[in-house]
Structure 1
Amino acid sequence: MTPNNTVQQTALEIAPGVVVPMIGLGTWPLVGEDATDAVARGIAHGYRHVDTAQKYGNEDAVGEGIRRAGIERSELWVTSKLSLPGHSRTAVRTAYAEALDRLGLEYLDLFLIHWPNPQLDRYVETCVGLQELVHEGALRSWGVSNFKPAHLDRVAAAGLKPAVNQIQVDPHHLQRSQLEHNAALGIATAAYSPLGRAGKFLEHPAVTGPAAAHGKTPAQVVLRWHLDSGRIAVPKSASNDRQLENLNVFDFALTDGELSAIDALDTGAGPRLDANEYGH
């Protein structure tokens, strides 16, 4: 495989006129030059969606990678996420300004609340602040991450709708009820750790069968499963070969039967971390 700067990517409209490339380049836990180099190479390979967060400690390095890539800002989608200090209607403005400063950018395409931190009980007012930033034209879109249905319902009761809920989804952690709740509220789902963590499902016939049939790798089949299910997927890779492999998923589609067979790999397990207990 060779770098391809004109790769055609499937995109999803998450808000009126706001369209996101459905395969993103995850950057955790890369930091420093490793993150900068991975982002610059990823963009050269054809990625147009880069995902970072305050908690990752790499926004500065990601920003440098974007600059090193030398493409027009308007061609790139950049997502970041705020942590606990940004939880309030006013604090979110400071968190956003600080994220832009670290990244060296004038705006973000998507800014997420990384965890709801329900013990603080400020995530609804933080959503209000994010919506205000969008209304003012400072931010293109806002969303949440790791929000459970009960958290989303409180946000919806305040008359607010996140564009995205970024959650852990893979064939063993399908989180069906969470996906259904996101969809019922009109919220797009983005999958982090979309290939799992050394997921055994990559060796299952439900995945290896379609891989052989379509001339793809098991990882490419799982990424295509996310796309065909309407989800954004944000895999992390610093490897040239793996970056290119993860992008090479736009020239085939899975059948309904293949999708259902991968869905059936769900173990019913919840996410690795419980958003009612973990946060930052």
Structure 2
Amino acid sequence: MDASAIYQAVDATYSSIASQAQARSNQPPTAQPQYVQIARSFGYSANDLALLPTGANFGLSCGNPLATAHLQPSETMVDLGSGGGLDCLIAARQMLQADAAPTGKVVGVDRSESMIGLARQNLQRADLPAGLVEFIHAPISEIPLETASVDVVVSNCVINLVPDQDKPRVFREIYRLLKPGGRVAISDLLAKKPMPDHIRQDAALLVGCVAGASLVQDYRRWIADAGFHDDGMAVVDTGKDLNVYHGQDGPSPSPCCKSGVAEEGTGRGGSSVDFNAWVASYQIYAVK
């Protein structure tokens, strides 16, 4: 599948997810126990999730990048692929809970206009101080922010959605944005071994995180080639069970790692794949 087809599939899928989230925006977060379960299994606290507006958590996480970002109230953080605002809104509340009043800022970036609209709606409902959080409509490989203006870049299960040929551009853009000494904390799905073509070419699996996962050695090389210090880089398998996306009673209601193609009769979609056999949830950390 070429890059343009991948981007079209990703845009269509995540625009649909945003529309579904807006439709249930009046429900309390506790009305979505399956999404809470997935997020908690990847390290989010029940308290952080309970404070989110409904529609910020889609059950799409594959980790918690905020756990290693160590964001300070004076810092600027950028979230690549911010979706409905999950990590941005949690990060902003963490800054408010610090001893010092926040002087920094949280910026979410997403290529989906529908997602940006949803995130801004969630921000209005989150009752946060004006100016603390901003959402920008842009591809994560070309972000309209100044060079060396950011302290921390995070991303949660999004870079795997970028075609392999464009992933080096994403890491170069991260490097450009960061101040000297700035850091990047990413949660992503990486491939343990090369995948067979029938998985790699399944568009529904691709937009659901599995087929777009890059090999660990390629991911490390792209980060190093962007300019990050190799001795300050960590790429760690978290050991999380990715079959949580299936749910306990069949396929997960989350679109992450779930194949709509299989449901139409191809017989090789996400509901029959043992995700742990092919990919793992990794925590990636690097310093400029």
- For normalisation by structure 1, the TM-score amounts to 0.31
